[in-house]
Each structure stands twice: as C-alpha cells, then as structure tokens.
Amino acid sequence: MKVLMVITSHDQLGNTGRKTGFWLEELAAPYYVFKDSGAEITLASPKGGRPPLDPKSNEPEFRTDLTLRFEADAAAEAQLDKTVRLDSVKQEDFDTLFYPGGHGPMWDLAEDKDSVKLIESFLAAGKTIAVVCHSTGALRHVKTPDGKPLVEGKEVTGFTNGEEEDVGLTHVVPFLVEDEMLKLGAVFSKTANWGVHVVSAGQLITGQNPHSSGPAAQTLLAALAKKAKAAA
C-alpha cells in the first residue's frame, strides 16, 4: 500500500505576524495508522523540503503519545525534512491520498492548482481519499468530471465555525471551512466542538478536527481493505 500525504508550505497566519503551518497531531496520528499497517508513505508539499509546523501544535497541551513518537522517530523526521514537491507527484504511483490540516492549507492548498488537479485525478481513477480539519478547505475548487463542485450534495465535515471561534481566528482565516462547504452545496455534518467526527461519502472521507485525524486514517484504511476484498 502506497500512501501520499500532502502537507501545507504556508507559514504566515494572515497578517497577524504570527506563524502557522501544519498541525502536528494531524500528521503524526495518521502517519502511524498508515506506517503501523505496513504502508509506504510519501510526504509532499507545494514547496518541497521541510514544511512549517504550527508552533502552537507542539505546545504541551496539544502533545500526544503519537506526536512525541514522531519527534523521536529519526526516519519520520528525515522524511519530513525532505518532502517532495507537489508538482512532481502523480496519482498513478499511489493507492490513496491523505491531507493533514492546520491553518496553513487555508492559504496555499485551497488555491493550489497542482493540489486541485491531484485530488481530481485520484477521484477520476476511482481511488478513495481523506482530508481532515482545515484541509477540507482544499476541496473548494475541486470539481467532478462534469464540472460541478466535488462536495455538492455530499456529506462532509471539517473544522467548524464554532471551533474557529474557539481559537479566535474567525476574522483571520481567508474563509470559514463550514461556510464555504455550505456555499458549495455540501451537507455539512458536525459534532460538538473538538469531538471526534469522521464522515464517509463514496470516495471521500473527511474528519472534523485534529482528534479526528487518526480515526479518519483508520476509516480510510478500512475502506481500502473492503475495496480490495471486493476486487479479489
């Protein structure tokens, strides 16, 4: 099993002067779901090289056993140091695609043409993918083969308006994930702020927030296993 994980390269939190990037738990938790299942993982980002970590995601209250495991894992850290450039990866080389979040994707992946094309190519090839938290925003320009918004009429989740309010960034982000999905005609599904929530809609699996990233990866693996069994 070959898994491609796409991480943000964006490190500025709007014009606040503060740093952002990817959220460590949202990389570490899925990474080990995949790795411990024997999958081969490739990390990619728009600019390649080491992507920026949201410094907040490594504060004591947000550390987990898996974020600590990642930081102590020399092989994982070496991979993170050398993410491949997003414009160099092809869906043909992978079985599935996973997008960790953090606030960074709201600025780069949401608008990145290579990212949009990549997601569209996985779906056109009949492959199942997963995005979590703010990376649901990376679906905003993704279209179905007949030119409709991918999320139109689909049940999806992502970082909610209430969660954005909780972290005080409602007026800093370029758009709100929940509002954007509703505007595109999605059925937005959510649980209480910071609760674990994963939604499956055909080839698309979405997770609400950092705590939902590991469960979203598990849901993705289960979907792939079921598909492989059906094809056998």
Domain of residue 170, residue span: 2-231
For the beta carbon of residue 41, count every other beta carbon within 10 angstroms: 18
Instruction: Give the burial class of 228: count Cβ atoms within 10 A of its Cβ; 0-12 exposed, 13-18 middle, 19 or more buried.
Output: exposed
For the beta carbon of residue 134, count every other beta carbon within 10 angstroms: 31
Query: Does the pLDDT of residue 132 top 90, yes or no?
Result: yes
CB-based contacts of 153: which residues, under 8 Å, 6+ apart?
A: 185, 186, 187
pLDDT mean over 73-100: 97
pLDDT mean over 144-173: 97
The pLDDT tens digits for 190-211 are: 999 999 999 999 999 999 999 9
Q: What is the pLDDT of residue 106?
A: 97
Query: Does the pLDDT of residue 231 top 90, yes or no?
Result: no
| Count of domains for the chain | 1
pLDDT mean over 69-80: 97
CB-based contacts of 50: which residues, under 8 Å, 6+ apart?
A: 80, 81, 82, 83
**Residue 21 is part of a domain; what is its CATH number?**
3.40.50.880
Q: What is the pLDDT of residue 232?
A: 83
pLDDT band of 48, cuts 50, 70, 90: very high
